[in-house]
Structure 1
Amino acid sequence: MANNPAFNRLEKDARAGYAGFRTGGQGGAGAAGASHAANDQLSARQLEDMYSAPSAVRQGTDRVVTMDDVVMKTLGLFAVVLVLATVGWGIAAALPGLGFMVAMGGMIATLVLGLVIAFKKTLSVPLIVGYAVVEGLFVGAISQLFAVSFDPPGTPAFQGIVAQAVLATGATFAGMLFAYKVGLIKVTAKFRRIVTMMVFGYAIFALVNFGYAMFTSTPFGFGGTGALGIGISLFAVGLAAVTLALDFDSIEYAIKTGAPQKYSWLLAHGLIVTIVWLYLEFLRLIARLRSE
């Protein structure tokens, strides 16, 4: 549930000009990054300058990241998540006890792998793909457990909690992309800092809440299925949705500053993480509403 891990690395590497990059005849993002490498962080003005600067070009024949790269990597990782989610669902349906273990183990594994990917000095594609595999198993298993717990017997698949959460996630993604593209949502440096702090704050709350729910056997943890619990879920859904705008902005930032093509994996990973987080929060919200 952490913020997109791509942006912090992109900002840091952009300030260093992306190792091995040079700019075209008019300067560009690489030179802008190198000239400010001594600064601890970019000012809002510097960030805007980097956005408006021409893209850097790679020395030699290596390519820089493009929108097509990000789209293809995102679709590829999403396909991995879907395939493994089917496996996780099947395991949970056939062996509920094992399915619960897959869900809990997958949650812990995604947390650990996510931190490794975010803080590893070098970008590792196998780690990103491995994260998608584990995440898929986790999502499939937890989805099946939610369906068994909150779908009345005989509920058609298209009316089930999973279908509703998927539909809500897709609609929210489309709405946020539209709002970002037409300028209804503008991601500034201040906006990003505020949302990032809120995300990390909610991540800490979620871990504490999980422990509280496990040790007290309280459904959903703090707030339960009452008004407070529903309010918490609505806040989480809104926060995940706003984080999508940060992900869209990170993708544009990488393209504008001439990030290496390999960064498309990191950007795709960040986007998938946010989409899955949004889906899981919708699952919790609908489950709480059905429990009223």
Structure 2
Amino acid sequence: MQQNNPVFSRLRKNPDAMAYGAEAASIRGIILKTIILFVIAIGTGILALSFADQNPNLYIGLVMFSGIIGFISIIVAMSSIRLAPVFSLIYAMSEGLFLVLISVIYMEAFNYTGYNIVLLAVLITAAIFFGMLVLYSTKLIVVTQGFRRFMLSFGFMMLSVVLFVSIASIFDGGQMAYMLFGNPDSPIVLFLTLVFVMYGAFMLTLHFDNAAQIADQGLDKRYEWVAAMGLMVAIVYIYYQVLRLLAIILSRRD
């Protein structure tokens, strides 16, 4: 199991990784901290929404700000176990801000369709999470070294494409970005969004496996925050991609 997980192998080499008599990480602790992060995210989002409603012009700025802070928090928390608890909470607050504001933008944009796009996205995300949990728990999906390498390589390829398109958009006025990610009538956009959703779903199994190994190997209890944040990152990603997918489908219906 240890050899199948390069992230876990790196953690084992950290002198602060093992509990050494201190309280060790557990699945129950990971679940509790995941719940804590989501409660903080929802609370922060609601507070931010009440503030943003008084200043609608700040919506886009706050969304971008929260995304940047969330990205920085992930890097810091994954790099330093000592800072992981603090930056996990910062990540939860920033993503709560991002999720609520982006959800309001989508809801207002598609309110005319008669569908509650946010509620549908929440239900589908929950179904994906519990469905993948069942598949992982029953060993119908086994996280092997090859599977992990494929997922990480595919994720790197996706990130490279997004960065390339972002840079190219500076010179072509955003035409390539619109063609690949923005045009709701394009079958390419629909296909890529489906791929992004499926990728997020399978990434959940990697986070389940990380959580299981952290608990099984007796790592320091602070690693519960790392595992909880990993699960939250995957869920937030899936929710956003599902939201985009629903928006594309509803746009094509019109």
Into which bin does the TM-score normalised by the smaller protein fall?
Answer: 0.7 to 0.9
Distance 1:121 1:11 in 2: 15
Measure the CA separation in 2 of the matches of 1:218 and 1:80: 37
- Between the two proteins, the alignment pairs up a number of residues equal to 244
Q: What displacement does 1:110 show?
A: 1.5
Q: Does 1:193 align with 2:149?
A: yes
1: distance between equivalents of 2:230 and 2:192?
23
TM-score (norm 1): 0.76
Check the 8 A contact 1:73/1:264 in 2, yes or no. yes
Q: Distance in 1 between matches of 2:17 and 2:151?
A: 32
Per-residue CA distance 1:93-133 (angstroms, 9 max, x = gap)? 44332111111111222222222223347443111101111
Q: Is the 8 A contact 2:78 2:84 kept in 1?
A: no
TM-score by length of 2: 0.86
Correspondence 1:160 to 2:116? yes
Deviates more, 1:231-240 or 1:138-147: 138-147
Moved more, 131-140 or 91-100: 91-100
The 5 A counterparts of 1:73-152 are: 73-120=33-80, 122-152=82-112
Any residues of structure 2 matched to 1:26-41 within 5 Å, and which? none
Deviates more, 1:85-94 or 1:252-261: 85-94
> Is contact 1:91–1:98 with CA below 8 Å preserved after alignment?
no
Q: Does 1:181 align with 2:128?
A: no
* Alpha-carbon separation, structure 2, partners of 1:278 and 1:109: 19
Q: Is 2:77–2:85's contact at 8 Å kept on the other side of the alignment?
A: no
User: What percentage of aligned pairs have identical amino acids?
Assistant: 26
1:222 aligned onto 2:180: yes
What's the CA shift string for 1:173-208, capped at 9, x where partnerless?
A: 010000111111000011101101112222333344
Q: Deviations over 1:17-41 (max 9, x none)?
A: x5485xxxxxxxxxxxxxxxxxxxx
Alpha-carbon displacement from aligned partner over 1:12-62 (angstroms, at most 9, x marks no partner)? 13246x5485xxxxxxxxxxxxxxxxxxxxxxxxxxxxxxxxxxxx444x1
Query: Which residue identity does 1:164 align to in structure 2?
Result: L
Q: More helix per residue: 1 or 2?
A: 2
Match of 2:195 in 1: 235
Computing the radius of gyration from Cα coordinates, the structure with the larger value is 1
| Structure 1 unmatched ranges of 5 or more | 1-6, 22-57
- Structure 2: runs of 5+ lacking an equivalent: none
2:162 is matched with 206
Classify the secondary structure of the residue corresponding to 1:201: helix
Flag the 1:288–1:103 CA change in 2: closer, same or farther, 3 A. Answer: same
Which of structures 1 and 2 has the larger relative contact order (alpha carbons within 8 angstroms, sep 6+)? 2
The answer as to 2:30 corresponding to 1:67 is: no
Matched residues in 1 for 2:104 and 2:8: separation? 37
Structure 2 residue 249 is matched with structure 1 residue 251 = no
Cα offset for 1:161?
1.0
Shift of 1:212: 6.2
Q: C-alpha deviations, 1:125-179, integer Å up to 9, x for none?
A: 11110111111111111111111112217x4xxx311111101100000100001
Q: Distance in 2 between matches of 1:147 and 1:210?
A: 26
User: For the residues of structure 1 that align with 2:248 and 2:164, how far apart are their CA atoms?
Assistant: 19
